Amino acid sequence: MVSDMERHASYPIPTIGSILAPILERHGFAVTSLLQMLREVQERFGYLHPDAITCLSEQLRIPRVKIEGVATFYSFLYLQPRGEYRVLFSDNITDHMLGSTALMEQMCQQLWVEPGKVAEDGLVSIATTSCTGMCDQGPALLVNNFAINRLSPERINSICELIRKRVPLSAWPGEFFSIEDHIRRRDILLGSGFESGSALSALLQRGTAETLQEIKNSKLRGRGGAGFSTGSKWEFCRAAAGTQHYVVCNADEGEPGTFKDRVLLKAYADQVFEGMTLCARIIGARKGFLYLRGEYRYLLDHLQNVLQQRRENRLLGRSILGCAGFDFDIEIHLGAGAYVCGEESALIESLEGKRGTPRNRPPFPVTNGYLDQPTVVNNVETFAASSLIALRGGDWYAAIGTATSSGTKILSVSGDCERPGIYEYPFGVTVAQVLADCGAHDTQAVQVSGASGVCVAPAEFTRCIAFEDIPTAGAFMVFDHSRDMFEVARNFVHFFAHESCGFCTPCRVGTRLLQNMMDKLARGNGSPYDFGEIEKLNQLLRSMSHCGLGHAACNPVLDTIAKFRPAYDKRMKHQEFEPAFDLDYALSQARQMTGRDDAGAHLGENE
Amino acid sequence: MDTPVKRKLKVATTSLAGCFGCHMSLLDIDERLFDLLELVEFDRSPLTDIKHIGTCDIGFIEGGLCNNENVHVLREFRSNCKVLIAVGACAINGGLPAQRNHLALPIILQEVYHTSHGLAAGSDIPNDPELPLPLNKVHPLHEVVKIDYFIPGCPPSGDAIWKVLADLLAGHEPQLGHGLIHYD
Amino acid sequence: MSEKTFVLDGKTIPYAEGQTIMQAAMAAGVYIPRLCYHPEFKPHGSCKLCTVKSNGRQAASCTQLAQSAAVVESDTQELNDERRALLQMLFVEGNHFCPSCEQSGNCQLQATAYALNVMSTHYDHFFPDRPLDASHPEYLLDFNRCILCSLCIRASRDVDGKNVFGLAGRGIKSHLIVNAQSGALADTDFAGDDKAAQVCPVGVILKKRRGFAVPIGQRTYDLKPISAMPDAKES
């Protein structure tokens, strides 16, 4: 499944052009495929060699700054050599709760490498990465972009051994790369026994306009979290003028704690692609994209196979199901480690081969999306649900769930519970019900919808998962009373600072300042002054940021302050203002250089 | 008839990692110094040569923090002054001394005492316990204690310092406005 | 007469269809603080300094189209407090040491901070390590002062047709780069008469050997506050 590790050193520079040629040709020298080409070039060389960038710049006739700009935006692309084995530990709070910190230390020690650095012999680099979407079977890591889960000290030992012996990834034990689906509760979607092609047949039988009407009747709302009416979106896009229309499936499932799209794409890919094809027919698109997050690289071959199967079955390609003029095909674009690309306009920028910076909106993608053409962007689950609706009708679907949240929602349950995994419920299910079903005890809090979502305290466990109460993109992270909710919020604040695209001032600088302040509190240097500062920053991020990332970046802090105030109070160790940095440590270099260690060579706390 | 004597405000001033330029600017208020002396009495200041600060109403500090002695003096000012004012670029953002911040301190000390040209034989990094130790980085004042007011400028003009003082003495928030607010 | 208008801080502002709030305000002589906006280029909307409340909703006035009868607030305590915080963020993010900067007095970051009464940098400084690029015979790049407004990028790309500048990195690591494998300005086709050489609102792109031609204290914003030049086509 994994191609052998290719060593950049084994390629003499002059052959770079000949290695790049097939990649360029496969992508038709299209600048929109720049990110895809960079990813493939890196898979060959281990990093993006400057000469490879020169070659791409010449061949694609685009300036070098553009290529470097794109390459440096994505976490998984490197302009400098990394280790032959690039190990990235998933940094989500659920990974930490399962012991990832100690496991990473263990690996660093065994392989003699500092976190974030490359080993002196170039063999390995070890660092952290944002949530890899394996929270139900963590702690997790990526090695050369492939996922390994259920890490234990023993498994880390084995991995270190394999790396030391330079065993190619393809020869590593297959069980390391096995990923469980963990489907714990099936409802109409996961239990439908969907037959490939059945929804498209229904569409052709019923008619396009009529099928759109069914989608509208179903009251289906976007499953990415925002909950816009799917029928309306498709209708707007269908009516929008353009030379081409596009369907985009957002599988950039980057919200920490979310992994339901991983399972849908693994076990229900046909149903997802069928939903995209339905949408294409309705809006008049001939081309669609699946934007797959880089962390799910392991799914690529499987998804390509499903697409190929569908082409062979005349469910994709020209004259789908023999219907003249029903032409549609799907291309898969892989992301490369950028959470912000889950925002639909940033995702489109990324699809166009650019930096994933959210656009100024309006205009919205339904009128001005991919290549400025009308584009529907929907979540994986939305497309899967639409297949079901085409098959069984809008009224049937609308009757499930609540009045304003029809149908079911798939939850990714992780954290402190006996049975983490995938749970499908009709909308309206209470938090308490989910907790009971997953075997959670002594629960202190649930973080619903990931880092940008809402932190729910026990008094609210009777609340419902629904757009009108607690909307969610699917994450459901459980924390029992042994957990420190301040540390949970701090983990999320670090996440946002790492993932801020850097476009707007408040988010670029503000998320970093917020991170620094949370770290200050964590070090025990907090005072009521800092508390006030954190609240002011929250307000600023919320009102001035360019996109949802900045707006949401303060949610975890605001929520935990409101609901778990003692976790903060116990860190307000000082009444008066304290510096953020350790003053005594600030003398360490001078002490070392002068050899002094007398009392005068130290700075204590306020004397 | 005698008018009741209003208590004079106690004022202290000092220069940390600064150049005394801000103090020179204070002197630039010229004949208004006489008005000032009607209103204030100087505690620790280069003008008085008092070594340790007593309880004061207002403290003026120029210069940032480049060594541990600066930190001690700043803390002493903070705990003795009701109102603490950072005066000048160095106090507010580190200023000129902070231009060393992109270099690691050991590299600077090596360069200055070991590897630069023209050093006397046996030159070494001073380690006398009497000497303050440099901090890894130079910091502005507000990163270490709470600062109540700031007067930017390198140096701020005598007029700017006078305006802030006058506003404070009159009991309202200092406002500089165009022409007086300057960072250069 | 059915001239389209909206209300900005109580003042009626006429506008033409398709104009942004910023464009209409500038034409009417009303100052809205801004750094990444320049009337000759497509708005970018990244610095967020020009954020106003239009009918109660916050939006960057450089990208927000003027709407008939909209009630727009700009010069309010709340918005100015937030703008001040944004300016302080820009100051601590880079290394802005005005006393030694050739652009002092002509710098829009500095002038805007004067206009908004920014007395301190407030936050803890990042003191980033950003090397200079002195490779070019005529021009110097001092990245310490870059505020990522992207005006040089837009000018080089859209006016000069050159792409000398670009944006790299993400988040707080975002930074300006130049179009050369060496990373040096001397190895690009940058020229002194490029538009890109003229648009930097701060002191990143500086002509060499032209120091202190105008003494400090007599420069553009020393003479007049930036807020009194609402429609200025910046330097």
DSSP string, C124-152: PP------EE--SSSEEEEGGG-----HH
Give the full edge-to-edge strand order of the sheet including C205-207.
C132-133, C139-142, C205-207
Nearest CA in chain C to B148: C120
Sign of CA dihedral A46, A50, A55, A57: positive
Distance from CA of C5 to the nearest CA of B (A): 32
Query: Does residue A363 have a cis peptide bond before it, meaning omega lies within 30 degrees of 0?
Result: yes
Residues of A in contact with B143 (CB under 8 A): 579-581
Using the beta-carbon criterion (under 8 Å), do B68 and A600 form an inter-chain contact?
Answer: yes
Give the mean model confidence (pLDDT) for residues A523-533. 90
Using the beta-carbon criterion (under 8 Å), do A65 and C63 form an inter-chain contact?
Answer: no
For the segment A428-439, what is each residue's pLDDT rounded down to a tens digit?
999 999 999 999
Res A306 pLDDT > 60: yes
Assess contact for B144 and B76: CB atoms under 8 A.
no
Res A476 pLDDT > 80: yes
Using the beta-carbon criterion (under 8 Å), do C171 and A500 form an inter-chain contact?
Answer: yes
Nearest CA in chain B to A591: B133
Fold of A408-485: Ubiquitin-like (UB roll) (3.10.20)
Give the mean model confidence (pLDDT) for residues A323-346. 97
Phi, psi of A521 (to 5 degrees): -60, -40
At the top level of CATH, which class does the domain C5-75 belong to?
alpha beta
Identify the residue among C88, C104, C117, C120 best suited for mutation to test binding to B, counting B beta carbons within 10 A and taking the highest: C120
Within A307-405, strands assigned E span 329-334, 375-379
- Residue B3: which pLDDT band, with cuts at 50, 70 and 90? low
Chain A contact residues (CB < 8 Å to B): 529, 576-577, 579-581, 583, 585-596, 598, 600-603, 606-607
Using the beta-carbon criterion (under 8 Å), do A498 and C171 form an inter-chain contact?
Answer: yes
Contacts A–C by Cβ distance under 8 A = 114
Q: Taking the complete model, does pTM exceed 0.90, yes or no?
A: yes
- Residue burial A148-177, b: 16+ Cβ < 10 Å; e: rest: bbbbeeebbeebbebbeeeeebeebeeebb
3-state secondary structure of C168: strand
Using the beta-carbon criterion (under 8 Å), do B178 and C114 form an inter-chain contact?
Answer: yes
pLDDT at position A1: 35
pLDDT at position C232: 61
Q: Are strands C71-73 and C51-54 parallel, antiparallel or unpaired?
A: antiparallel
- Residue C233: which pLDDT band, with cuts at 50, 70 and 90? low
pLDDT at position B169: 84
Using the beta-carbon criterion (under 8 Å), do A529 and B146 form an inter-chain contact?
Answer: yes
- C105 CB near a chain B CB, below 8 Å? yes
DSSP A151: -
How would you class B42 by CB atoms within 10 Å of its CB: exposed for 0-12, middle for 13-18, buried for 19 or more?
Answer: middle
Phi, psi of A527 (to 5 degrees): -140, 170
pLDDT at position A516: 96
Using the beta-carbon criterion (under 8 Å), do B176 and C125 form an inter-chain contact?
Answer: no
DSSP string, A197-261: THHHHHHHHH-HHHHHHHHHHTT-B-TTSS--BHHHHHHHHHHS--S--EEEEEE---STT--HH
- C99 CB near a chain B CB, below 8 Å? yes
Residues of C in contact with A63 (CB under 8 A): 163, 166, 179
Using the beta-carbon criterion (under 8 Å), do A595 and B127 form an inter-chain contact?
Answer: yes
Nearest CA in chain C to B90: C97
Query: Does residue A362 have a cis peptide bond before it, meaning omega lies within 30 degrees of 0?
Result: yes
- Residue burial C156-167, b: 16+ Cβ < 10 Å; e: rest: bbeebebbbbbb
Chain B contact residues (CB < 8 Å to A): 68, 71-72, 75, 79, 104-106, 109-110, 125-127, 129, 133-137, 139, 143-146
- C117 CB near a chain B CB, below 8 Å? yes
Torsion angle, CA of C171/C173/C178/C183, rounded to 10 degrees?
-150
Residues of C in contact with B98 (CB under 8 A): 97, 125, 127
pLDDT at position B2: 54
Report CA-CA distances (Å) from A337 to A355, A555, C198: 12, 22, 36
Res C100 pLDDT > 70: yes
| Measured distance CA(A370)–CA(A246) in Å, rounded | 7
Chain A contact residues (CB < 8 Å to C): 50, 53-54, 63-66, 68-69, 72-75, 338, 355, 360, 497-506, 508-513, 516, 536, 539-540, 543-546, 580-581
Res C104 pLDDT > 60: yes
- Residue A14: which pLDDT band, with cuts at 50, 70 and 90? low
Please name the residues in contact with A190: beta carbons below 8 A apart, sequence gap of 6 or more. Answer: A183, A268, A410, A422, A424
Distance from CA of C4 to the nearest CA of B (A): 35
Domain boundaries, chain B: 9-101+135-169
Identify the residue among A589, A591, A605 best suited for mutation to test binding to B, counting B beta carbons within 10 A and taking the highest: A589
Task: For chain A, give percent helix, strand, coil, nearest 5.
Answer: 50, 15, 40
Res C234 pLDDT > 70: no
- Residue C143: which pLDDT band, with cuts at 50, 70 and 90? very high
Res A10 pLDDT > 80: no
Distance from CA of B92 to the nearest CA of C (A): 6
Nearest CA in chain B to C216: B184
3-state secondary structure of A393: coil
A317-323: long-range contacts (C-beta < 8 A, 24 or more apart)?
A: A320/A200, A320/A277, A320/A281, A321/A197, A321/A200, A321/A201, A321/A204, A323/A204
| Measured distance CA(A58)–CA(A48) in Å, rounded | 15
Query: Considering the domain B9-101+135-169 in this protein, what is its CATH number?
Result: 3.40.50.700
| Measured distance CA(C191)–CA(B135) in Å, rounded | 42
Minimal CA–CA distance to A472: which of A253, A225, A133? A225
DSSP string, A503-536: -SHHHHHHHHHHHHHHHHHHTT---HHHHHHHHH
- Cα A83 from chain centre: 24
Select the CATH number that applies to the domain covering A486-569 from these four: 1.20.1440.230, 3.30.70.1140, 1.10.1740.10, 3.40.50.300: 1.20.1440.230
Residues of B in contact with A580 (CB under 8 A): 143
How would you class A597 by CB atoms within 10 Å of its CB: exposed for 0-12, middle for 13-18, buried for 19 or more?
Answer: exposed
Assess contact for A89 and A103: CB atoms under 8 A.
yes
Give me the percent of chain A exceeding a pLDDT of 70: 97
- Tell me what the pLDDT averaged over chain A comes to: 95
Could you say which architecture CATH assigns to the domain C82-223?
A: 2-Layer Sandwich (3.30)
Tokens of A465: 């998962």
- Tell me what the pLDDT averaged over chain C comes to: 95
ipTM: 0.97
Report CA-CA distances (Å) from A72 to A244, A247, A354, C167, C168: 31, 27, 11, 9, 6
Please name the residues in contact with C213: beta carbons below 8 A apart, sequence gap of 6 or more. Answer: none
Give the mean model confidence (pLDDT) for residues B62-83. 97
- Residue C235: which pLDDT band, with cuts at 50, 70 and 90? very low
Residue with token string 């390391």 = A176
Interface of C with A in 129-188 (CB under 8 A): 147-148, 163-174, 177-181
Identify the residue among B133, B135, B146 best suited for mutation to test binding to A, counting A beta carbons within 10 A and taking the highest: B133
| Measured distance CA(C126)–CA(C123) in Å, rounded | 9
Q: Are strands A246-251 and A287-292 parallel, antiparallel or unpaired?
A: parallel
Using the beta-carbon criterion (under 8 Å), do C99 and B154 form an inter-chain contact?
Answer: yes
Residues of C in contact with A55 (CB under 8 A): none
Distance from CA of C213 to the nearest CA of A (A): 32
Query: Considering the domain A85-173 in this protein, what is its CATH number?
Result: 3.40.30.10
Chain B contact partners (≥3 CB pairs within 8 A): A, C
- Residue A362: which pLDDT band, with cuts at 50, 70 and 90? confident
Q: Are strands C51-54 and C205-207 parallel, antiparallel or unpaired?
A: unpaired
Res A425 pLDDT > 70: yes
Using the beta-carbon criterion (under 8 Å), do C181 and A64 form an inter-chain contact?
Answer: yes
Residues of chain C with CATH 3.30.70.20: 82-223
Residues of B in contact with A579 (CB under 8 A): 139, 143-144
Nearest CA in chain A to B138: A586
Assess contact for A271 and A387: CB atoms under 8 A.
yes
| Residue A206: Cβ within 10 Å count | 15
For the segment A204-243, what is each residue's pLDDT rounded down to a tens digit?
999 999 999 999 999 999 999 889 999 999 999 999 999 9
Identify the residue among B68, B107, B110, B124 best suited for mutation to test binding to A, counting A beta carbons within 10 A and taking the highest: B68
Assess contact for C41 and C48: CB atoms under 8 A.
no
Domain boundaries, chain A: 8-71, 85-173, 184-398, 408-485, 486-569
Assess contact for A246 and A287: CB atoms under 8 A.
yes
Distance from CA of C208 to the nearest CA of A (A): 24
| Measured distance CA(A65)–CA(A481) in Å, rounded | 50
pLDDT at position B5: 60
Q: Torsion-angle region of residue A374: left (phi > 0), alpha (psi -120 to 50) or beta?
A: beta
- Residue C2: which pLDDT band, with cuts at 50, 70 and 90? low
Give the mean model confidence (pLDDT) for residues A305-318. 98
Distance from CA of A50 to the nearest CA of C (A): 7
Sign of CA dihedral B52, B58, B63, B69: positive
Contacts B–C by Cβ distance under 8 A = 72
Select the CATH number that applies to the domain covering A184-398 from these four: 3.30.9.10, 3.40.50.9100, 3.40.50.20, 3.40.50.11540: 3.40.50.11540
C100, C127, C222: residue with CB nearest B102:
C127
Using the beta-carbon criterion (under 8 Å), do C177 and A68 form an inter-chain contact?
Answer: yes
Tokens of C210: 């032209």
Report CA-CA distances (Å) from B139 to B104, C92, C121: 14, 12, 12
DSSP A288: E
Using the beta-carbon criterion (under 8 Å), do B105 and A590 form an inter-chain contact?
Answer: yes
Assess contact for A328 and A316: CB atoms under 8 A.
yes
Sign of CA dihedral A146, A151, A157, A158: negative
Within A252-340, strands assigned E span 287-292, 329-334
Question: Per DSSP, what are the bridge partners of residue B43?
Answer: none
C60, C165, C170: residue with CB nearest A501:
C170
Please name the residues in contact with C115: beta carbons below 8 A apart, sequence gap of 6 or more. Answer: B178, C31, C33, C225, C226, C227
Using the beta-carbon criterion (under 8 Å), do B126 and A594 form an inter-chain contact?
Answer: yes
| Measured distance CA(A250)–CA(A377) in Å, rounded | 6
